[in-house]
Structure 1
Amino acid sequence: MRFTLLIAGTLLPACFALSGCFNDEAISAENRDTSEKVVASDTQLTPWTAPELPSDLNSWVLLPAGNNVPADRVAVGTSGLWLLDATGNPITEPYSGRFSALDTRPLGSTLLSATLDEERDQTLLLGWNVEQQVFSAPSWLPATDYPVESLCFYQDPNDYLYLFLIGEEGSGQQWLVAEQQQLLTKPQLMRDLHLPVGAQYCAVNDQLHTLFINEEDVGIWAYPANPETNGERQIVDLVAPYGLLQDSAQGLAASSDGVLALNGNASLHRYHIEAEGWQAGAPLALPPLRDAERVFSRQSSASTEVLLADAADQQLYQAKVPQAALPVAAPPIVEIPAQAQTDSVPHGGDAADDPAIWVNPSDASQSRILGTDKRGGLGVYDLQGKQLQYLPVGRINNVDLRSGFTLGEQQIDLAVASNRDSNSLELFAIDPQTSKVSSLGRIPLPLSDIYGLCMAKGPQGDIYAIANDKSGRFLQYRLQAENGEVTGALVREFSTQTQPEGCVADDARQRLFIGEEGVAVWTLGTDPNQPGELSEVIRAEGPLHADVEGMAIYQAEKPYLVISSQGNDSYLVLDAEPPYQLRGVFRVGINTAAGIDGVSETDGLEVSSANFGSVFPRGMLVVQDGRKRMPQGNQNFKLVSWEQIAKALNLP
């Protein structure tokens, strides 16, 4: 049985209030009737008994095979936390306490459990040393101001271990608790979660990087588990009449290819993901269960083993559930941590956008990072990320700069930004002696909605500003000084067919690269006397995921073009010369020691090959971070060592 459920989660409250959003287009009546009348062949259940165990145990974890841990399963209840073999015999004395909810993962030579300590009303992290066979010193996460109903671990492809806390009042948290198989001395709060008010249970599928949550009387939701995602949810299934669930799910458990949901008196629903969305297999009957209330699982290569609790006879049952084949997972993209980050921009929401790097000619350690706040102005930061200035000039989007502009009798470095309030070029002077940035006014442009911008410098020293609007129209201006002011003369116009975003000029080779957001990266000559004919560099497909956003040139003996692949939160490094060979792809990940989160949804970026000192000896890449985590806050910019990028991608 197949059906697709892929409806924006934000519509659900209004849909239930209006009682009319979910109709036959969501799940056909034929599928709904069939699911209620016909189920697959009965699942073979085997009673699992452990007479010596107390009857208060409420949550179980089946440990994966082959983990060098003598325990086969873990359980908690009011009598403590128990480590058990496959027959239910304790392998050690229980850890005393009153606990509910549980998840457990092998972590190096430790078995790490997370459970709710009902005596302290906090989440307990407790390790059991496999070699010494003793419990480690306990630690607790900070208390929440809401009751926690469920918790789940998530292990990502880069060996970071996270813990989700699910609250019944629509609140939740995601914590980073371990990295590289080592428990953190101080867990880091990654983000707060906004969840359904009736959330009861959670389950995580590591292979699919997905968090599943049951919402009472509504259905089952799927959320991205990666903390750097936007948290958009998908419907897995809904309670009838909108979906195939007879009533609220009594439990969730990960399967090898998706998720399992316990529903009705005794049926197990199976779901897996396909290109069209979440698909349901025929529910499995669970005789002799009469009042199944919880389900727990572990995966093997051929099936998912489940443990079910039946409230009717207070008995546990085991079964094996067949699974569909999982698609071959793509190899993980290498992650490189940022070495520093700037202060957050003063405005919330989607505010930070584009950086520029000004290199101090006499002392590179006194260089500056300029960063646009498209809700208010321009920030100026030192190389440690501290904000030194903020110029509230309006909604500026992109910024770029060039050195050696003569203004009267003064030599300045000139920065230009696209100002969306005034559809103009916003001008700034950078004093090479003091590193101070000051406003120089603006040049109005005949654009209906100015958007992106970059600068270029010709072989004779002419400085250009190239601006675009959302229609795809590009205007190239020669900037010059007249009567103590900066003016612009239009010298060329060209266009893309759809909305562009960033652009960057390679002054050394007199090439201009422009990004057409959903299409490709193009190139043409910088010389305004050349025609505006575009040549393709790379399409927005394969490794480059739309939107195509910021771009920058790393100037060295071997020049590189760096592109923000916003659609999958990564960055591409290409040769900046034909045939523009792709050299590698990377992401900016977590720097736990420095307390710096990873980067996602990057708009603008800039790179420099200057030696900025011991941290950035071969230069730096500065990227806008669209989601500030660890902790949450307004957007900012991250600073990444080019030396680490070159090492990770084997660049010469």
Structure 2
Amino acid sequence: MRRLLLTLALGATLTVAQSAAHAERFELAKTALELRDDAGRTLDRHALRAKHMDQRHDDGPLAVLQDADSGRLQLWRASAGRLQRQAEWPAPPFDLAQLCLYRDPQGLLQLFLLGKEGLSAQWLIRGGEALPVQALATPLDPGGCRVRDADGLLYLSEPGVGLWAQSANAERPGRRLLLADSESGEKALNAKLDAWLAAHPVAPLPAPHPVVLATGQTQPVREAGDAADDPAIWVHPTRGAQSLVLGTDKKRGLAVYGLDGRERQFLPVGRINNVDLRQGLRYGGRRLDLAVATQRDEAGLVLFGISLTGRVSELARLPTGLDDIYGVCVGRNAEGGLDVYPNDKDGRVLRLRLMLAGTTWQARPVAEYRLDSQPEGCVVDEAHQALFIGEEKRGVWRLDLATPGSQPALVITAGPGLVPDVEGLAIHPGRGWLVVSSQGSDSYAVYDIRPPFAQRGTFSIGVNAALGIDAVSETDGLDLTSANLGGPYKDGLLVVQDGHKRLPHGPQNFKLVPWAAVEQALRHGR
């Protein structure tokens, strides 16, 4: 599920106001960019007609401005009393009205470019590169802009209207909020903006989670909007680097990706939501790798076979008797075959046993369970014969599969470390850990899979600026393996769905995270 949030946590000193406390600051004269000390003496001067400048001093003096003659944007730094132009970029494809800089919680520099007709953009500055993060809709002809890092908000003034605030976090864009009405002109309104900001002290953002970085990402799914949903990892039997990621495009079908993120295969099987798989299953003297996905138009299941080379093919469509099928997970049963656990939005969870008679597949009902509200993500703990089910609003339930007649018990309650919606679940068998997507906080919580189900820590997935891979937010499904897949994934792999693809902007996709990075984040986060 998707939630648009704007947290109005007001405060912090303006970045432009901070410059007075530093020995060097940039000033725009009529025909030059000047570097001055705190006594106002000019240290260096460069002939330039410029406009729309913003500057920062948190990583040494730097400024971004627009050349008034060429329209190009320039990045300047100061060192030892000298001006240095570090980078230059083409102007955005709109008439620029304002620009302002932002240092995000990860410490990365970002730039807001606000247009005169409501067309605006957010860029990530990486060394000498400017990477587009997102397009923005902003007020027409904004009179001024400020970003306060501590509350993560972009503040705007709109002459004749008033003062606005909106999220500076591209992963959580939210809605624009009118802070104060005003019929003032631009100059008076900007003074009012500065006064308003100074009068509202900081209520800082929540403490950040330890950050890990994805080292790979898949190609985007075919459809825009909320389309990608749930991944499953297939491990190659002999060559780990040739393993695959199956990912659902819930508007069109199932995509199959290599670990390089390239699509290897696409099966247009319709609106499938969740997918899970098991390898080395025993059926009729054969060992099979099988995947199962929920097909929402048919309220049924699609069964796939996976060959030894990783070729995926549809084997069967199986009815479930559910009305609004949603999530699914699978687990190996005592006979070596597959049990399937689909759920319905009304709270029902089924246990179906996958049977093969000749060449015909069937799903035989074994048991039915019920939660009070909507579930989706689930995972089977085969080692302890248990099923974990995520109830989106409440937490995680555990069901003892070895005891007939047992019912689910709530073992992890949603709270500060696990913010609804509770979404994807996966188990690291070697560690005995359960990883849960905390969609409401764009993070992941890790728990022991045995009582008392203690929380091991949390983490989030940030921007890998070096590789041009954006951060992850609003994750639905996830999967992980502890198998050696080679390279960065020799200690295992975590794959997560990303709710907003920003670098470059496009349809949703899946991010690949080395499991070793998660382990390190959990150790350092304690």
Please give the TM-score of this superposition, normalised by the length of structure 2: 0.93
Matched AA of 1:78: K
For residue 214 of structure 1, report the CA deviation from its aligned partner: 2.3
- The answer on 1:606 being equivalent to 2:479 is yes
Give the aligned partner of residue 270 of structure 1.
196
User: 1:595 offset after TM fit, Å?
Assistant: 1.3
Residue of structure 1 equivalent to 2:73: 123
Correspondences of 1:171-320 after superposition (within 5 Å): 171-178=119-126, 184-238=127-181, 245-247=182-184, 250=187, 261-262=192-193, 270=196, 304=198
Where does the alignment leave 5 or more consecutive residues of structure 1 unmatched? 1-6, 10-59, 179-183, 239-244, 254-259, 263-267, 272-303, 305-322
Q: What are the Cα deviations for residues 243-295 of structure 1, in whole angstroms up to 9, with x where unaligned?
A: xx243553677xxxxxx735xxxxx7526xxxxxxxxxxxxxxxxxxxxxxxx
The residue number in structure 1 matching 2:23 is: 70
The CA distance in 1 between the partners of 2:328 and 2:342, in whole Å, is: 4
Matched residues in 1 for 2:81 and 2:401: separation? 68
Deviations 1:125-165 (A, max 9, x none): 11111xx3222234222222211111111112221111111
Question: In structure 1, what is the Cα distance between the partners aligned to 2:429 and 2:227?
Answer: 29
Unaligned runs of 5+ in 2: 7-14
1:550 to 424, 428, 439: 424
CA drift at 1:649: 1.0
For residues 252 and 608 of structure 1, what CA distance do their matches in structure 2 show?
A: 55
Equivalent-residue separation in structure 2 for 1:559 and 1:185 (angstroms): 44
Instruction: Tell me, yes or no, if the aligned pair for 2:74 and 2:89 is still in contact at 8 Å.
Output: yes
Q: Please name the residue that 2:48 is paired with.
A: 97
Change (3 A) 1:220 1:325: closer
TM-score, with normalisation over the residues of structure 1? Answer: 0.75
Distance in 1 between residues matched to 2:89 and 2:489, nearest whole Å: 35
For the Cα contact (< 8 Å) 1:111–1:127, is it kept in 2? yes
Q: Give the direction of change, closer, same or farther, for the CA distance of 1:390–1:536 in structure 2 (3 Å limit).
A: same
* 1:457 corresponding residue in structure 2: 332
Q: Provide the residue aligned with 2:410 in structure 1.
A: 536
**Which residue type is aligned with residue 174 of structure 1?**
Q
Q: Does 2:270 match 1:333?
A: no
Partner of 2:91: 143
Q: How far did residue 380 of structure 1 move? A: 0.3
* Equivalent-residue separation in structure 1 for 2:29 and 2:335 (angstroms): 78
Please say if residues 8 and 233 of structure 1, whose CA atoms lie closer than 8 Å, have aligned partners that are also in contact. Answer: no
- 2:12 match: none
Show the counterpart of 1:370: 246
State the partner residue of 1:161. Answer: 109
Measured in 2, the distance between the counterparts of 1:425 and 1:250 equals 62
Assess if the C-alpha contact under 8 Å between 2:151 and 2:202 holds in 1: no
From 37, 44, 63, the equivalent of 1:113 is 63
One-letter amino acid of the counterpart of residue 250, structure 1: K
Give the count of matched residue pairs: 514
Contact map agreement 2:276 2:330 (CA 8 A) in 1: yes
The AA in structure 1 aligned to 2:192 is: A
2:387 counterpart of 1:387:
no
CA contact (8 A) 1:506 1:553 kept: yes
Secondary structure of 1:543's match?
Answer: coil
- Equivalent pair of 1:62/1:74 in contact (CA under 8 Å): no
Q: Distance in 1 between matches of 2:432 and 2:282?
A: 28
Structure 1 residues 329 and 632: CA distance shift in structure 2, 3 A: closer
Letter of the 1:541 counterpart: G
Q: Distance in 2 between matches of 1:351 and 1:419?
A: 14
Alignment partners' CA distance in 2, 1:103 and 1:186: 18
- Residue 324 of structure 1 deviates from its aligned partner by 5.2
Structure 1 residues 563-572 or 169-178, which shifts more?
169-178
State how far apart, in whole Å, the 2-side matches of 1:204 and 1:356 are: 39
CA contact (8 A) 1:565 1:571 kept: yes
Aligned to 2:361: 486
Letter in 2 for 1:648: A
Contact preservation (8 Å) 1:364, 1:611: yes
Distance 1:427 1:235, change over 3 A: same
Q: Taking structure 1 as reference, are residues 61 and 89 closer, same or farther at Cα in structure 2, changes over 3 Å only? A: farther
Residues 81-92 of structure 1 mapped to structure 2, 5 A cutoff: 81-90=33-42, 92=43
Whether the 8 Å contact between 2:36 and 2:44 is mirrored in structure 1 is: no
Q: Is the 8 A contact 1:104 1:113 kept in 2?
A: yes
1 CA distance for matches of 2:459 and 2:99?
31
Secondary structure of 1:270 counterpart: helix
- 3-state SS of paired residue (1:644): helix
Aligned AA for 1:498?
S
Q: CA deviation at 1:404?
A: 2.7
1:626 aligns with 2:492: no
How far 1:196 moved relative to its partner? 2.6
SS state at 1:508 partner: helix
Q: Is contact 1:80–1:95 with CA below 8 Å preserved after alignment?
A: yes
Structure 1 Cα separation of the partners of residues 18 and 375 of structure 2 = 51
Q: Which amino acid aligns with 1:121?
A: G
Alignment-derived partner of residue 509 in structure 2: 636
Aligned equivalents of 2:462 and 2:219: distance in 1? 18
CA shift, 1:402, in A, is 1.1
1:573 positional shift: 1.0
* Alpha-carbon distance, 1:372 to partner: 0.2
1:531 Cα shift?
Answer: 2.6
SS at match of 1:648: helix
User: 2:23 and 2:234 mapped to 1: Cα distance?
Assistant: 58
- Work out the CA distance in 1 between the residues paired with 2:460 and 2:316: 37
Is 1:596 matched with 2:522? no
Counterpart-to-counterpart distance in 1, 2:192 and 2:315: 63
Q: Distance in 2 between matches of 1:369 and 1:186?
A: 31
User: Displacement of 1:118 after TM fit?
Assistant: 0.7
2:462·2:470 contact (CA, 8 Å) conserved in 1?
yes
SS at match of 1:491: strand
Bigger relative CO (Cα 8 Å, ≥ 6 apart)? 2
Contact 1:201 1:251 survives alignment (8 Å) = no
Give the 3 Å change call, closer, same or farther, for CA 126–269 of structure 1 in structure 2.
closer
